[in-house]
């Protein structure tokens, strides 16, 4: 006889009380009378530093009080599960027990709808070195039997997370619960299409085109003219709004743009602002690197929050003549000198990368490029080339755009600020095809409200109604943060 699901385990550090109660109610409806192990009121108290450790502790406690068969299993929730779908959970349990699986889960369901199922035999014997159990099982697939369930709709493109394990996930769960507390997985896609605003609460990626000033004139980005530099007051305003409306360690800020951010007259002050912001998890500086030397590295190391800094050198070639062609100036040596300075900085607190764009002109250099940095403390980012819809000629080596067009991540989660203080609809609209907004006169939330209709059209697949030539753009599926 197949085993049974004998207990439920909830791994949810510092759980929200409202969502914890909703989770317990759903579990008791699914498995009435079942032991529920966790670390908060309403559960049998066990502890663990990871889902696996929590499940091990629950298994030990269960086995101490009642006989447990090797074929019996535990339902493991990584985070809370305020929208537990009883019907699919029953299907998953049937497959898991029928085939005596060690580990089972639903492939395309977001956290918050279903548990993973893990056998007591697996818990008694396994000693995974990683906290990600799914990853561990498949790295050791020769040892374990795994069953994977698939149910439509497939909503993985939305990157949903209802585990309430982060402030953004908790906010998303509260938004969905306010609309439909008993939503089933079958209805989730329709709910998002009817209420696109629930996945656009506040930006998570802020790209700041700091200045038009530059020592190079690359053919890899649209032409830039003028001497605009973002006023310091607007950087202070943006930082304050992220702190006021964002969540701890949630936002990513990129000091980038077509110009050279380090040429901004207040670059250091702006960098300090965002490094000190508790709502910001990472600050990128995307630079051509011509001003990076030992003194600069020492200065960055001394800044509070330096460990949140990631410096990206735009360097798509290791050949001097090609550098001149791609970047329009003979500044290959200063760029390479910056690489060497970063590599030699033994006590460097911040991360450093070199970015290579995957374009036809340097396709033969990709392998040598990675070989050059194989043992370096400076790591490689091989990035896709952006045509900015139609502003630049095609240079891509291959077209990796998904065949099925979904909604635009940049409209949904990005905030792009230009040197003149204006905010376009998305990072692709640097020439102002759609309406732009003056950040000196509007808040982030007001701009989100003003562009909500475009986001709704995008989510619903009404791309011709967005106000941009979105159907000619291949950036919609790239996700920044």
Co-location of 271 and 403 in the same domain: yes
Same domain, 22 and 37: yes
Is residue 182 located within the same domain as residue 232?
A: no
Reported confidence tier of residue 67, pLDDT bands at 50, 70, 90: confident
Strand 103-106 versus strand 116-119 pairing type: antiparallel
Q: Answer yes or no: do 152 and 231 share one domain.
A: no
Distance CA 202, CA 170 (A): 13
The 10s digit of each residue's pLDDT in 411-469 is: 999 999 999 999 999 999 998 899 999 999 999 999 999 999 999 999 999 999 999 99
In a domain, 268, yes or no: yes
Evaluate whether 146 touches 137 at the Cβ level (below 8 Å): yes
Q: Is residue 254 situated within a structural domain? A: yes
Question: 79: closest CA among 170, 214, 198?
Answer: 170
**Quick check: is 99 in a domain?**
yes
* Cα–Cα distance for residue pair 161/180, rounded to 1 Å: 16
Q: Give the up-direction half-sphere exposure of residue 72: CA atoms within 13 A in the CB hemisphere.
A: 13
Q: Is residue 65 domain-shared with residue 154, that is, in the same domain?
A: yes
Here the tokens at position 236 are 């202070």
Give per-residue pLDDT as tens, 362-421: 999 999 999 999 999 999 999 999 999 999 999 999 888 888 899 999 999 999 999 999
319 found inside a domain: yes
User: Do 241 and 125 fall within a single domain?
Assistant: no
Q: What is the pTM of this model?
A: 0.94
- The reported pLDDT for the residue numbered 130 is 67
Q: What is the pLDDT of residues 166-188, one digit of tens each?
A: 999 999 999 999 999 999 999 99
CATH number at residue 17: 3.90.550.10
Q: Looking at residue 220, what is its pLDDT?
A: 95
Q: Kindly report the CATH number assigned to the domain that includes residue 368.
A: 3.20.20.70
CA 267 from chain centre, in angstroms, equals 26
Which residue has tokens 């190079």? 216
Residue of 291, 300, 209, 299 whose CA lies nearest to 256: 209
The parent domain of residue 242 ranges over 199-472
163 plus 178 within the same structural domain: yes
Tell me if 480 is assigned to some domain. no
How far apart, in whole angstroms, are the C-alpha atoms of residue 82 and residue 18? 9
pLDDT at 310 over 70: yes
Select from 135, 162, 194 the last residue of a domain: 194
> Which of 148, 167, 194 finishes a domain?
194
Are residues 310 and 455 both part of a single domain?
Answer: yes
Q: Are 418 and 430 spatial neighbours (Cβ–Cβ below 8 Å)?
A: yes
User: Percentage of residues in the chain with pLDDT exceeding 70?
Assistant: 99
Answer whether residue 481 is part of any domain: no
Region 236-251: mean pLDDT is: 96
> Mean pLDDT, the chain, as a whole number?
94
The pLDDT score that the predictor gives to residue 244 is 96
My answer on whether 223 and 290 are in the same domain is yes
Residue 226 three-state SS = coil
Cα–Cα dist 254/209, whole Å: 9
The DSSP element (H or E) to which 121 belongs, if any, is helix 120-125
Handedness of CA 136, 409, 449, 463 (dihedral sign): negative
Residue 70 tokens, joined: 């090797």
Q: Which residue has the tokens 């050949």?
A: 319
Same domain for 29 and 135?
A: yes
Phi, psi of 216 (to 5 degrees): -120, 165
Q: How confident is the model at residue 480 (pLDDT cuts 50, 70, 90)?
A: confident
Query: Residues 228, 376: one domain?
Result: yes
**112: Cβ contacts below 8 Å, ≥ 6 apart:** 79, 80, 81, 82, 83, 160, 161, 162, 163, 164, 169, 173
d(CA 210, CA 418): 7
Per residue in 214-235, pLDDT (tens digit) is 999 999 999 877 789 999 999 9
Alpha-carbon distance of 116 to 104, in angstroms, equals: 6
Cα gap 329→199, rounded to integer Å: 43
Domain boundary among 162, 194, 226: 194
Q: Count structural domains, the chain.
A: 2
Q: Is residue 243 part of a domain?
A: yes
CA nearest to 411, candidates 373, 375, 465, 369:
465
Token pair 């003149």 is found at 420
d(CA 148, CA 144): 13
Residues 164 and 286 in one domain: no
Whether 306 is covered by a domain: the verdict is yes
List pLDDT tens digits, range 197-209: 999 999 999 999 9
């Amino acid at each position: 006889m197949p085993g049974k699901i004998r207990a439920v385990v909830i791994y949810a550090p510092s759980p929200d009380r409202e969502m914890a109660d909703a989770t317990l109610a759903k579990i008791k409806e699914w498995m009435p009378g079942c032991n529920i192990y966790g670390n908060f009121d309403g559960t049998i108290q066990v502890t663990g530093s990871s889902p696996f450790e929590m499940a091990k502790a629950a298994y030990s406690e269960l086995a101490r009080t009642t006989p447990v068969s090797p074929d019996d299993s535990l339902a493991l929730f990584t985070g809370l599960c305020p929208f537990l779908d009883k019907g699919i959970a029953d299907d998953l349990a049937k497959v898991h027990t029928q085939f005596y699986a060690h580990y089972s889960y639903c492939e395309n369901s977001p956290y918050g709808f279903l548990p993973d199922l893990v056998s007591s035999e697996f818990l008694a014997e396994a000693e995974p070195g990683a906290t990600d159990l799914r990853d561990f099982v498949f790295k050791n697939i020769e040892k374990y039997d795994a069953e994977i369930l698939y149910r439509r709709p497939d909503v993985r493109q939305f990157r949903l997370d209802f585990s309430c394990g982060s402030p953004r996930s908790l906010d998303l769960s509260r938004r969905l619960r306010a609309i439909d507390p008993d939503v089933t997985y079958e209805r989730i896609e329709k709910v998002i299409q009817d209420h696109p605003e629930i996945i656009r609460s506040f930006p998570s990626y802020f790209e700041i085109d700091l200045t038009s000033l530059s020592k190079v004139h690359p053919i890899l980005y649209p032409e830039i003219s003028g001497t605009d530099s973002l006023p310091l007051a607007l950087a202070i305003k943006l930082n304050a709004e992220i702190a006021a409306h964002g969540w701890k360690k949630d936002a990513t800020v990129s000091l980038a743009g077509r110009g050279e951010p380090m040429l901004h007259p207040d670059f250091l002050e702006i960098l300090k602002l965002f490094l000190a912001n508790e709502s910001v998890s990472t600050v990128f500086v995307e630079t051509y690197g011509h001003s990076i030397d030992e003194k600069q590295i020492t200065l960055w190391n001394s800044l509070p929050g330096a460990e949140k800094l990631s410096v990206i050198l735009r360097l798509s070639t290791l050949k001097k003549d090609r550098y001149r062609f791609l970047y329009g100036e003979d500044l290959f040596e200063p760029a390479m000198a910056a690489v060497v300075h970063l590599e030699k900085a033994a006590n460097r607190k911040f991360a450093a990368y070199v970015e290579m764009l995957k374009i036809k002109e340097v396709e033969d250099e990709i392998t040598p490029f990675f070989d050059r940095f194989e043992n370096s403390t400076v790591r490689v980012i091989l990035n896709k080339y952006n045509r900015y819809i139609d502003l630049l000629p095609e240079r891509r080596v291959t077209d990796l755009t998904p065949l099925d067009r979904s909604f635009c991540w940049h409209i949904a989660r990005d905030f792009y600020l230009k040197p003149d203080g204006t905010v376009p609809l998305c990072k692709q609209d640097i020439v102002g095809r759609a309406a732009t907004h003056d950040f000196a006169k509007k808040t982030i939330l007001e701009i989100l409200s003003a562009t909500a209709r475009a986001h709704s059209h995008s989510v619903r697949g009404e791309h011709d109604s967005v106000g941009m030539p979105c159907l000619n753009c291949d950036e919609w599926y790239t996700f920044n943060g």
